[in-house]
Structure 1
């Protein structure tokens, strides 16, 4: 996933930063109280770690604010003395909250969940029409939403049994026409994955109309209007479908990394880096296309900016040793690299690896990590 909002934060704010990532679901009866307690605990932990009271209070307010979302959802918040600089929602439950106070945001726990979700369009269709929504990376709230009413909500009350089957079929088609047109409009904005749910006949009709679309269309079982427990079950089905897609995409990147590292071992030209030192150098040169990182493992290594020629982390100017995972993620954000979380065992035994934009032996002018 891209971290453009994090890049803006680091470009404009020298820190230090308070970070919290926690479950903020309100599905239980005492959901509001539970979230308030979670936010208060984050405040207390940050103050104990040395964060100014004003910073901890700003983070507490943002973490505990309403998400306007149903179902399970987690929130990450980053704050400094300049206020809350970054926050994002992620579908699903985060059972163990995490907090951090330091020179850089600590985004590893959030990334472990956020990189399991890809941008997608969600379409629900039946005889009345349907809804189409576009979701960004890991977002619990749609970036774009539209309701379509191509069908007739009163068609079931029409008389004339001889014409009933034909009438129903026409309603499915009209609904699918309207929803398909909106899906096409929203796919043009970027997502290449479309999830489709609703009434089976309308879904089947919609899939046919989307067969020419340059996007992967996945049919879900739920999504019917007014189904008992339908919204919660459908939300879980959406989450599982997205995780499956993200795992598949991650496997493709890991296979590419394995191939490139193999070429390098054979002395051929390579566009891959492995290990903290190699990946750090590639990030400083703006050379990384995709950063693959095991945050917990990378956190065991430290990086001292003053010891790294050319290393600049936006507005952050600390000379202290920093956790390697935080430095690597920050540089990935500043150089517009994609970020994926992976386990060390899949990264050539290293806590971090990278797929590069160009070969080490032919080096165009690189974008600066300080931009």
Structure 2
């Protein structure tokens, strides 16, 4: 999962204020409830010493509706000078919370954001298409007026059933369908190249869907999924169609997660390309080798919840002791402690690595943490796990 949205936090001055809030506003009552939730967490932050100016800015942000329908949440992170991250979450937190301290509380936001899928809904008919973009955090990139409409320009799209004239009309109509599908495919190809969505969801008139699908470029086809039941314009059973789209997004999330875990298992099995256990993961993070940090879902409340790591001013400066930082040339006031989860995510972010959460038991992670590597050399920690073992003990060696 891409963590670029957290980059504004790197190198920023502490302390940090992190707020997770259910901002669902289904009606007037929902509006009042969202305001009440903010007032409650604000009181907690005021008691903890959060600056009034920062809290005022956060409150102003929460006062502006997201424009997202249905249940959803929001995370806002501010440093000593103001808000740096403001992100909509596709699922509201089970309980609104706020933390004021030397580091932002990142793991819950990363976990929620992993569920996001940047996708475009393409609703087609025989005249053209509507393209509606959805960001990876579940919020649409713009309001309804900014949805892109693509009209093919060929409007002779109706067949007539009468003799030779009808055959000519049918031919002209079918030609118009094809030209309009080509126009949609051309625009879609350009937009996908520009914006790199995770998924293209294609729906609408059955004949138009088939024509567009056959016309799109390979780079579009690679991320395209057809979902029946949608349509351009009115007349759609929105709830039923939304459920089908949700299923398509769930399938994509599972495929995305499993692709990372398959790489981890493969690397772990051959003893090259993946590591586990906190010390080894720290080492490869320091060396900039990590492509994807892998955490057990229980890590949020389990193995790493109470651990702290020593860090320096740079994201890749981390270790389990002061001696580790001394070896990296970091000394004095430049050293500080951070929660282990924050330190690991910070280091992953510092090398443009992603984060994947794995269901407990889906992969073998010592201490709930592992990493898929970009590269390895002779000094990289190596893992070897027996495929069959009576006591399931792991064999580990460093080469």
C-alpha spacing 1:151/1:89, structure 2 compared with 1 (3 Å): farther
Query: Matches of residues 38-53 of structure 1 in structure 2 within 5 Å?
Result: 38-53=37-52
Q: Which residue of 1 aligns with 2:260?
A: 253
Query: Matches of residues 245-284 of structure 1 in structure 2 within 5 Å?
Result: 245-264=252-271, 270-284=272-286
1:120–1:191 Cα contact (<8 Å) kept = yes
C-alpha spacing 1:213/1:334, structure 2 compared with 1 (3 Å): closer
Distance (whole Å) between structure 2 residues aligned to residue 68 and residue 2 of structure 1: 24
Q: Which residue of 2 aligns with 1:227?
A: 235
Structure 2 residues without counterparts, runs of 5 or longer: 312-320, 381-399
C-alpha spacing 1:46/1:347, structure 2 compared with 1 (3 Å): farther
Distance (whole Å) between structure 1 residues aligned to residue 248 and residue 372 of structure 2: 26
Aligned pair count reads 350
Q: Which residue of 1 aligns with 2:396?
A: none
Residue 320 (structure 1) shift: 4.6
Distance (whole Å) between structure 1 residues aligned to residue 362 and residue 7 of structure 2: 27
Q: Which residue of 2 aligns with 1:5?
A: 5
- 1:240 match: secondary structure: helix
2:121–2:201 Cα contact (<8 Å) kept = yes
Superposed CA offset, 1:155-210 (max 9, x none): 67x9x553486676455434422221111001212235321122222222211222
Superposed CA offset, 1:60-101 (max 9, x none): 322342213334432211012211101122334444333222
C-alpha spacing 1:17/1:153, structure 2 compared with 1 (3 Å): farther
Distance (whole Å) between structure 2 residues aligned to residue 246 and residue 82 of structure 1: 36
Query: Matches of residues 91-130 of structure 1 in structure 2 within 5 Å?
Result: 91-130=90-129
C-alpha spacing 1:221/1:311, structure 2 compared with 1 (3 Å): farther
Query: Matches of residues 50-199 of structure 1 in structure 2 within 5 Å?
Result: 50-142=49-141, 146-150=148-152, 161-162=161-162, 163=166, 169-170=174-175, 172-189=177-194, 190-191=196-197, 193-199=199-205
Q: Which residue of 2 aligns with 1:345?
A: 361
Q: CA RMSD in A?
A: 3.0
Residue 353 (structure 1) shift: 0.7
Q: Which residue of 1 aligns with 2:250?
A: 243
C-alpha spacing 1:271/1:130, structure 2 compared with 1 (3 Å): same
> More relative contact order in 1 or in 2 (CA 8 Å, sep 6+)?
1
Superposed CA offset, 1:266-318 (max 9, x none): xxxx2222122221222122121111123413223221336242799xxxx77
Deviates more, 1:346-355 or 1:80-89: 346-355
Residue 245 (structure 1) shift: 0.7
Q: Which residue of 1 aligns with 2:349?
A: 333
2:68–2:139 Cα contact (<8 Å) kept = yes
Residue 348 (structure 1) shift: 1.6
Superposed CA offset, 1:203-253 (max 9, x none): 2221122264452310112332213552x5544433332221121121121
- 1:345 match: secondary structure: coil
Distance (whole Å) between structure 1 residues aligned to residue 173 and residue 47 of structure 2: 64
Distance (whole Å) between structure 1 residues aligned to residue 379 and residue 259 of structure 2: 25
2:295–2:358 Cα contact (<8 Å) kept = yes
Distance (whole Å) between structure 2 residues aligned to residue 107 and residue 130 of structure 1: 39
C-alpha spacing 1:337/1:167, structure 2 compared with 1 (3 Å): same
Structure 1 residues without counterparts, runs of 5 or longer: 265-269, 364-371
- 1:206 match: secondary structure: helix
C-alpha spacing 1:68/1:311, structure 2 compared with 1 (3 Å): farther
1:54–1:81 Cα contact (<8 Å) kept = no
TM (normalized to structure 1)? 0.82
